[in-house]
Structure formats: C-alpha cells, structure tokens
Amino acid sequence: MTNVLSDAPVTSLRRRMIEDVNMRRFTRKTQFDYVQHVARFATYLGRPPDTATAEELRQF
C-alpha cells in the first residue's frame, strides 16, 4: 500500500487531514480509507470537499 497521504499535492485541506490522522495515531490502513472516502466525496461533488454544504453531505 502506498502512502496516499503524501503522494498528492498538499492543499491546506489535505495538510489538515494529515495532521488530524497523525495526531489521532490512525493506522496506515485507516489513513488510506479516509483518503479514499474523501476522494469519492470530492468526485461526487465535482469540487473540493471543504466547499460542501450540510445538505450535500446528507445527500451523499
């Protein structure tokens, strides 16, 4: 499994996510899963996930 947290360009959102999962000491598998879920959500939205509304999150 590659380290997906460091392979992509580091946006401020991605940097916050990396800090959060490291602070919480999540396993690499959990980190990978989180990145995959956020990527799916971003694909669903068609834009960065930090621009989502509460309603869009519920619809997802």
> Tens of pLDDT along 39-57?
899 999 999 999 999 999 9
Torsion of CA 20, 54, 60, 12, to 10 degrees: -30
Q: How many domains does the chain have?
A: 1
Predicted local distance difference test score (pLDDT) of residue 18? 83
pLDDT in tens, 2-23: 455 556 667 888 888 888 998 9
Predicted local distance difference test score (pLDDT) of residue 2? 44
Within-domain flag for 3:
no
Residue 25 confidence (pLDDT) above 60: yes
Rounded to the nearest 10 degrees, the angle between the axes of helix 12-23 and helix 28-45 is: 150
Within-domain flag for 4:
no
Q: What are phi and psi of 24, to 5 degrees?
A: -85, 0
Predicted local distance difference test score (pLDDT) of residue 7? 62
Range of the domain at 40: 10-59
